Structure 1
Amino acid sequence: MTAAVTPETQASASSMTQRQILQAMSGLMAGMFVAILASTVVANALPRIISDLHGTQSSYTWVVTAELLAMTATVPIWGKLSDLYDQKLLIQLSLSMFVVGSLVAGFSNSVGILIVSRVVQGIGAGGLTALAQVVMAAIIPPRELGRYSGIFGAVFAVGTVAGPLIGGVLVDTSWLGWRWCFFIGVPFALLAIVLLQLTLKLPVVRRDVKIDYVGAVLIMAGVSALLLWITLAGTEFDWASWQTAALVSAGVVLLALAVLVESKVQEPMIPLDIFRNRTVTLTTVASMLVGVAMFGGTVFLSQYFQISLGKSPTVAGLMSLPMIFGLMLSTTIAGQIITAKGKWKAFLIAGGIVMTAGMGLLSTISADSSFLLLSIYMAVLGIGVGMLMQNLVLAAQNDVPASELGAATSVLSFFRSLGGAIGTSALGAVLSHRVTSEMEKGFGGAAGGGAAAGDGEVPDLATLPEPARQVVENAYGVATADVFLVGVPFAFLALIAVLFIKEKPLKTQSGLERLAEENKSPTAPVH
């Protein structure tokens, strides 16, 4: 099914100057900044939030996972909607949902309401994730994407650096508190909506398609069943139990039905035939594994800084800077070199090697690790991830027809987010189980440890006597190292996947120019 494109619209869209592209990207980058800020600003506040709301280690994991799961499930839906409606309007709608989710989260008085609000935020983030990169591919040729991905990397780094610092300061400021971690993103989101209205000019592509809601529901239900099993097994019930059998069976059956539906419907949420493209298949596998390793490992670093090392939320934010700077530098430098030389595979291989090394190094940390060593290890991980994430998207976008750019980008985003959700749940379960085990050893049994060891709640170190505090610090140090150790094989498998990707010359035409050549037909007027 092809979109119609008028020559006038095509000419105006495909002949954009660098200044026009930068203006168009300003709203997109503002929107992405909001999404990044909203997730990172909460990172250092979560231990305090969960403690104040009397949540458990499992609920700590689900506050993160809920957003990832909602984002994952809705990315393909947003991608399909972009075939039917104005992409600019859709991005503004996703930002509006983000605002609603942030306000509900800020006023939450229970973990349950907080998790629901994170689902709403995740749906909004799904729109931003799906549409931002589709729009960039439409207006920027793959050969030039490296230059602009450097800008994206800088925005990512600023949002990631600012988030934990702002979150830490807000949590440590008595007259503000953690609720402002959610409120602070609202004005930025509103600014992004206005900027998009003023700067983003795109042809509206309308296609006669049907959205596969059945497939979307089956995918979300199947993934949710498996995530529930991974999160609750070992704490709420045994790994070998009827609950495990029920959840795993339900997840497998629902996902099998999803594949069946996707293979039959005219417009599937995840077009299965796109996996006939070797580059798309391998970059998808690598993206999912990067998601498992990256999200699954780093989401618990802030908790490690605060509980195992006894740092304040503000200091914990500062301690994450080496990883962010490593990511920012590698993304920016790799993007510039790729634009200049046109070669990209070497950066994927180097990123896989360095990311695996970084995960391995972080698997050696403990409650006694020095900040210098931690900084080196985190910088190594950041450098590796920075060389991988954006360039995997670039490789896939470069190797598909322009008519499949949206599908390829959505598939990559979907599986990266899915990997992140699975990684956070699975490694969160590993961490929770190991923390409980270490505390029971330290306290001579769960009963001896009281609340800290027995009921799974995230402990408040300020309320613990010194001997108990040392046991808790050691438990979280050992458990966090285990999380990274489990993540190492996933990082290594990502490296294996990129080794088999065939390097192809980067195209010099934008997505809209390529689409015009493929279709030789009209688009609707620019809005």
Structure 2
Amino acid sequence: MSEAQSLVADVPEASNQMTHREILEALSGLLLAMFVAMISSTVVTNALPRIVADLKGSQTGYTWVIVATLLAMTATTPIWGKLADLFSKKLLVQLSLSIFIAGSLVAGISPNMGTLIGARLVQGLGVGGLMALVQIVIASMVSPRDLGRYSGYMGAVFAAATVSGPLIGGLVADSALGWRGCFFIGLPFGVAAFVLLQKTLHLPVVKRDVSVDYLGATLIMAGVSLLLVWVSLAGNQYAWLSGTSALLVGGGVVLIAIAVFVEARVAREPVIPLDLFKDRTIVLATLASVFVGIAMFASTVYLSQFFQLARGMSPTKAGLMSIALVGGLLVSSVVSGRAISMTGRWKVWLAASMIFVVAGCALLGTIDETTNLVLVGVYMALLGIGVGGSMQNLVIPVQNIVSLADLGAASSLVAFFRSIGGTVGVAALGALLSAQVSDKVASGLKGLGIDGGGQQAHGIPDLSTLPAPIRAVFEHAFGASIAELFLVSVPFAALALVCVLFIKEVPLRTTLHSTDQVAAQGTG
């Protein structure tokens, strides 16, 4: 309780020193930083096919441009949270911004895929810090009673970045700036956020007796990375059943096993508190989060490839098509959130949302390069409705049953495993897409009497430069193969639904003890 009491002491101190106007001024810099973090992921999505084609990359490279950021963000987010208890939160936010800006600069001038993937890894380090620290800083300067007053601003920023990112990315990629402008566009926002924070954010630096589990986080990241490398490259660079595969899988499993031992026996404050898994609700919600991460992150990442490589759209038009998915997501997240708050019942909304995810993935599994775009939009909207109602609400049953002292750890646990699921899903489905496209292109080109098609099949083509018959081969290959990704996602979405159905619905709490609530806000 000593840590909780110290947190209680901090929050009133900060909030008493800051008026509503001062909080809003500081919030402007924090929310701008969060906008930078969010838009860095969404703005590049519709430019990726053009980026990879221009840098002569492969489908595996396309996948790792996404995976690198997700992996770095997932692995480092808990560490940033711990560092916030040791050093100046303001300094850490500015450091995160600086790391992100440096990664963006390198990404924008990348001469090849290797440099770009490395730069995206650096971006992920910064994004992980921003995502963790912004919420911690807000909780440290606003009392729990007033926190709801400011949470709407965060929701608006998330919505703005989600909606505008793909559209801005498409427009910039089609402009004179080209795809490199997608990495530069966040720089002015990042610099502005840095300056605003320097001018408006003033918090006391209170060091607490905490232990940062660097070893556990490093082992988890290393073990998952080896497995992701294996999944991404097997079948292309080496055989699935080969010595290289055995080394990568064996190494990954051993590292993860050591990480589990460290988390259970060695770490004073583990990244993943294993004691939480003694509760059935936490186990089921965590499993559901992994399956949802696989289904929604992995499948939606490749939609921009469908529109650009199977339908021949420009990045701008592909961005406009994303409105159907994002629109469903926003409506469902707002409606389900308000309904749960009003009625106190979450299970019916969560189960219904998961049914929409299953249906959306199944219907998108039927599309190809000839499917009516209105139908594709309807299917995307259904998936968006499911994602919006399940993504954030999955944490509710966990928050409702854990002790208030464990609220922050349990909440971050669900988010952590959702990100792990998404990272693994993106890599695995990317490998599947590469193999399927390669086979279909090689077969199609052979049908046209063109030999050596297998070598071309692993690349991301510039459709505008291809003769019509060859272009049709690639469009069919990407259209049919991306549809197969959604079909593969269906079982995972169904497993998430089963997990939700087996979670016992406990009436939601209507009150929280103020001391514990402050502690939860400070640690989560």
Same fold per superposition (TM over 0.5):
yes
Moved more, 372-381 or 287-296: 287-296
In 2, Cα distance between equivalents of 1:322 and 1:193: 34
Residues 488 and 281 from structure 1, CA distance in 2 versus in 1: closer, same or farther, beyond 3 angstroms?
same
Letter in 1 for 2:307: F
CA-CA distance at 1:257 after TM superposition: 0.7
- Note if contact 1:105-1:118 (Cα within 8 Å) is conserved in structure 2: yes
Match of 2:418 among 406, 411, 416: 416
CA-CA distance at 1:107 after TM superposition: 1.5
Letter in 1 for 2:66: V
- Note if contact 2:445-2:453 (Cα within 8 Å) is conserved in structure 1: no
Match of 1:82 among 75, 81, 84: 84
- State the match for 1:371 in structure 2: 373
Letter in 1 for 2:502: F
Which secondary structure does the structure 1 equivalent of 2:207 belong to? coil
- State the match for 2:290 in structure 1: 288
CA-CA distance at 1:497 after TM superposition: 1.6
CA-CA distance at 1:94 after TM superposition: 1.8
Moved more, 44-53 or 301-310: 44-53
CA-CA distance at 1:515 after TM superposition: 5.0
Moved more, 16-25 or 132-141: 16-25
Residue identity (%): 54
Letter in 1 for 2:280: R
- State the match for 2:253 in structure 1: 252
Which secondary structure does the structure 1 equivalent of 2:391 belong to? helix
Q: Does 1:188 align with 2:163?
A: no
Residues 424 and 177 from structure 1, CA distance in 2 versus in 1: closer, same or farther, beyond 3 angstroms?
same
- Note if contact 1:13-1:512 (Cα within 8 Å) is conserved in structure 2: no
- State the match for 1:357 in structure 2: 359
Moved more, 264-273 or 310-319: 264-273
In structure 1, list runs of 5 or more residues that go unmatched: none
Moved more, 348-357 or 304-313: 348-357
In 1, Cα distance between equivalents of 2:38 and 2:336: 21
- Note if contact 1:157-1:325 (Cα within 8 Å) is conserved in structure 2: no
In 2, Cα distance between equivalents of 1:13 and 1:208: 20
1:4-153 correspondence runs (5 A): 4-5=5-6, 9-11=10-12, 26-133=28-135, 152-153=154-155
Residues 343 and 28 from structure 1, CA distance in 2 versus in 1: closer, same or farther, beyond 3 angstroms?
farther
Which secondary structure does the structure 2 equivalent of 1:444 belong to? helix
Match of 2:385 among 383, 387, 390: 383
- Note if contact 1:85-1:206 (Cα within 8 Å) is conserved in structure 2: yes
Tell which has more relative contact order, 1 or 2 (C-alpha 8 A, sep 6+): 1
- Note if contact 1:405-1:511 (Cα within 8 Å) is conserved in structure 2: no
- State the match for 1:155 in structure 2: 157
Residues 127 and 281 from structure 1, CA distance in 2 versus in 1: closer, same or farther, beyond 3 angstroms?
farther
CA-CA distance at 1:186 after TM superposition: 1.3
- Note if contact 2:228-2:424 (Cα within 8 Å) is conserved in structure 1: yes
- Note if contact 1:402-1:515 (Cα within 8 Å) is conserved in structure 2: yes
CA-CA distance at 1:446 after TM superposition: 11
- State the match for 1:490 in structure 2: 492
Letter in 2 for 1:252: V
Letter in 2 for 1:208: D
- State the match for 1:339 in structure 2: 341
1:269-308 correspondence runs (5 A): 269-308=271-310
- Note if contact 2:437-2:457 (Cα within 8 Å) is conserved in structure 1: no
Which secondary structure does the structure 1 equivalent of 2:503 belong to? coil
In 2, Cα distance between equivalents of 1:487 and 1:282: 19
Structure 1 length normalisation: TM-score? 0.89
Per-residue CA shift, 1:266-317, capped at 9, x if unaligned? 2222121122233333322222211111111011110110010000111010
- State the match for 1:431 in structure 2: 433
In 2, Cα distance between equivalents of 1:242 and 1:142: 58
Which secondary structure does the structure 2 equivalent of 1:44 belong to? helix
Structure 2 length normalisation: TM-score? 0.90
Residues 122 and 330 from structure 1, CA distance in 2 versus in 1: closer, same or farther, beyond 3 angstroms?
same
In 1, Cα distance between equivalents of 2:505 and 2:27: 28
Residues 400 and 449 from structure 1, CA distance in 2 versus in 1: closer, same or farther, beyond 3 angstroms?
farther
Moved more, 4-13 or 360-369: 4-13
In 2, Cα distance between equivalents of 1:341 and 1:152: 23
- State the match for 1:440 in structure 2: 442
Per-residue CA shift, 1:167-225, capped at 9, x if unaligned? 1121112x311111011111222333445556667675633222222212211111011
Per-residue CA shift, 1:134-162, capped at 9, x if unaligned? 566775869986x9766544433321221
Residues 191 and 482 from structure 1, CA distance in 2 versus in 1: closer, same or farther, beyond 3 angstroms?
same
In 2, Cα distance between equivalents of 1:510 and 1:186: 40
CA-CA distance at 1:417 after TM superposition: 1.4
Residues 517 and 287 from structure 1, CA distance in 2 versus in 1: closer, same or farther, beyond 3 angstroms?
closer
Residues 277 and 482 from structure 1, CA distance in 2 versus in 1: closer, same or farther, beyond 3 angstroms?
same
In 2, Cα distance between equivalents of 1:517 and 1:294: 32
- Note if contact 2:143-2:518 (Cα within 8 Å) is conserved in structure 1: no
CA-CA distance at 1:5 after TM superposition: 2.7
Moved more, 77-86 or 488-497: 77-86
- State the match for 1:323 in structure 2: 325
In 2, Cα distance between equivalents of 1:394 and 1:199: 33
Moved more, 452-461 or 66-75: 452-461
CA-CA distance at 1:93 after TM superposition: 2.4
- Note if contact 1:2-1:207 (Cα within 8 Å) is conserved in structure 2: no
Per-residue CA shift, 1:363-399, capped at 9, x if unaligned? 1110001110011011011111111111123443343
In 2, Cα distance between equivalents of 1:140 and 1:373: 47
Which secondary structure does the structure 1 equivalent of 2:450 belong to? helix
- Note if contact 2:285-2:499 (Cα within 8 Å) is conserved in structure 1: yes
Letter in 1 for 2:441: M
- Note if contact 1:397-1:409 (Cα within 8 Å) is conserved in structure 2: yes
